[in-house]
Amino acid sequence: MAELGLSQADIARRGRFNATFVSDLLRGKKLTLHAGNYGRLARALLTTQAYLQAGTQPSEAEIERIKAEVGWQPEIAPAEPELSPDVAADLDAISRHLADQAASRAEIKKAEELGRFPVYRSGGRFDGGSIVESFPLYHLTLPIKVQANGLYAVAISDSTMSPRYEPGELAYAHKSAIARPKDYVSILVKGRVNYRDAIIAYIRQLVHESADEVIVRQISPSIETRFARDSIEGIHRVVFAGEPIENIGF
C-alpha cells in the first residue's frame, strides 16, 4: 500500500470492500479470505492472487496487464468534486468524495445545510427485499451540497448480491437515474406486508425490460426473477454503494 501510495479508503474503493473489512484485514482480524475476496484484493493492490496466497512474484507483464484491466493511473491528489447539472454525475462525485475523505459520521452530522435522504431496511424479510414505507430506518446526511430529492438508500441484509454488494452495506439509488439492461438497480415491487399493501425494494441487476414484464438477476446464486410490469412501482439505477451500517439490526 505504501509503495503504491494507497490508503485504506483507496483499497476499499478499488476492491469494493467495506471500510471496516479493510481495517480488520490490516489489523490481522481477517485470517482467511474467500477466493473472490482474494481476487478483488489483488486487483486493488495491482498484483496477482498467487502473490497474496503463495508469495509467487508476478512478472512485469502480469502487472501491466492488471493495470490495464483496472484502468490504473498514477494517483493524483483528489480535488473537491464540483456539482454538475447531471444528478447522477453529482452522486458519483459524492461516492468518490466519501471514500477519499473518509469523513466520520460525527463530522457529517455537524455539517450544516446539507441534503438528507431515507434509508430502508428488510424489516425481517428473508428474501433480501426492503420495505419502502413512510417511516424509514433512519436518514443520512450528504457530506457535500447536492439536491437530495429523489435519492434513497437500501440496506443490504443478505448475500444474494455478493460480492458486488455485501451485507451491512448500503446501495444508493436515485429516482431520476435511468436504468438500462446490465445496470444494477433498485426495483420497487408492489406486495403485501403484515396484511397490508406495501412497496418492497430489491437490489438486483436488470436483465430485460418490456411492456409486459421486467427480468432481473441476483448474483449469489445466479437466479433470474420475472415481475409483471403492472406490479412494479419503479426501477431506479444504483448510483453508488458502501457506507457500512454499524450497530443497526436488519
Per-residue pLDDT band at 212 (split at 50, 70, 90)? very high
Average pLDDT, integer, range 196-206: 89
Q: Does residue 137 or residue 23 have the better pLDDT?
A: 23
Whole-number Å distance between alpha carbons of 183 and 227: 17
Top-tier CATH class for 87-242? mainly beta
Name the 3-class secondary structure at 109.
helix
More confident residue, 178 or 125: 178
**Could you tell me the end-to-end alpha-carbon distance of the chain, in angstroms, rounded to an integer?**
34
Q: Up-side HSE of residue 56: CA atoms within 13 Å toward CB? A: 9
| Amino acid 69: pLDDT | 72
Backbone φ and ψ of 85, nearest 5°: -65, -20
Name beta bridge partners: 223: 218
* Predicted local distance difference test score (pLDDT) of residue 226: 95
Model confidence at 68, pLDDT cuts 50, 70, 90, reads confident
Average pLDDT on 69-96 reads 56
**pTM score of the predicted model:** 0.49
For the residues 217-229, what does the mean pLDDT come to? 94
| 186 CB neighbour count, 10 Å cutoff | 27
The whole-number pLDDT of residue 121 equals 75
Q: What angle do the packed helices 19-26 and 8-15 form, to 10 degrees?
A: 120
Q: CATH 2.10.109.10: which residues of the chain?
A: 87-242
Distance of CA 102 to the CA centre of its chain: 15
pLDDT band at 33 (very low <50, low <70, confident <90, very high): low
The least confident of 47-51, 77-81, 160-164, 233-237 is 77-81
> Is pLDDT of 249 > 50?
no
> Residue 164's closest CA among 5, 15, 2?
15
* Grid cell locating 14: 478499488
Q: Name, in order, each residue with C-beta under 8 angstroms of 12's C-beta and a sequence gap of 6 or more.
A: 18, 19, 21, 22, 99, 242
Percentage of residues of the chain with pLDDT beyond 70: 50
97-149 pLDDT, tens digit each: 555 544 444 443 443 344 566 777 765 555 667 766 544 545 555 544 445 56
Which DSSP state fits 217?
E
Residue 62: pLDDT band with limits 50, 70, 90: confident
Give 198 or 141, the one with higher predicted confidence: 198
* Angle at the Cα of 87 from the Cα atoms of 82 and 92, rounded to 5 degrees: 65
43-55: burial string, b at 16+ Cβ within 10 Å, e else: bbbbbbbeeeeee
pLDDT of residue 110: 44
